[in-house]
Amino acid sequence: MQQFSNLEISEIKSRIDQIQQLLVSRTAAPAERDPGAIPTPPDMVERIAFNIEVRRMRRSHFPGAQMGGASWGMMLDLMLARANGRRLSASDLSTGAEVPLSSGLRMIAALEQQGYVQRTLDEKDRRRSIVRLTEEGVSRMTAFFDAVANAWLDRQRRAA
């Protein structure tokens, strides 16, 4: 039996989700739709579909990582801090993600194990650890946001 890497599995799942969404949108007859459903404006449906697409892109850019909720919030905070020349501690990230410090530390450890962040001791207060994105983390975040921007532009061109 062939073994697949986490990246390959993530890409396959993402593609299956896309195909399933396409099939549902093409084959759902009016009789199959919920009769009690409230009509949704087309622009809202488009935004929802785009958010689902973005979630799939995030899975493919960060294969094998739990990049939802608080962990994703930490990655966003770290990217913004980097762009603004700021440093964030583990407690800053936990507070920003609205999780207890113990949970935040576990999430940071998981991100560190994936190679997306690194911790160093704060030179001024050695009880604190400073968390920064690694080059790999910056590269993946940049590639993700580039992919989102390109997907948005593609949607805009198709709609025009």
Asked whether residue 88 is domain-assigned, the answer is yes
| Percent over 90 (pLDDT), the chain | 46
Checking if the pLDDT of 13 tops 70, the result is: no
Name the pTM for this structure. 0.71
CATH of residue 114's domain is 1.10.10.10
Longest C-alpha distance within the chain, in Å?
67
Asked whether residue 156 is domain-assigned, the answer is no
Asked whether residue 74 is domain-assigned, the answer is yes
Q: Number of structural domains, the chain?
A: 1
Asked whether residue 110 is domain-assigned, the answer is yes
Asked whether residue 15 is domain-assigned, the answer is no
Tell me: the pLDDT tens digits for 78-100?
999 999 999 999 999 999 999 99
Domain range for residue 103? 69-138
Asked whether the CA dihedral 150, 154, 156, 160 is positive or negative, the reply is positive
Closest CA to 114 of 133, 95, 96: 133
Asked whether residue 86 is domain-assigned, the answer is yes
Asked whether residue 92 is domain-assigned, the answer is yes
Asked whether residue 30 is domain-assigned, the answer is no
Rounded to an integer, the average pLDDT of 51-61 is 87
Please state, in angstroms and rounded to a whole number, the distance separating the CA atoms of residues 87 and 129: 10
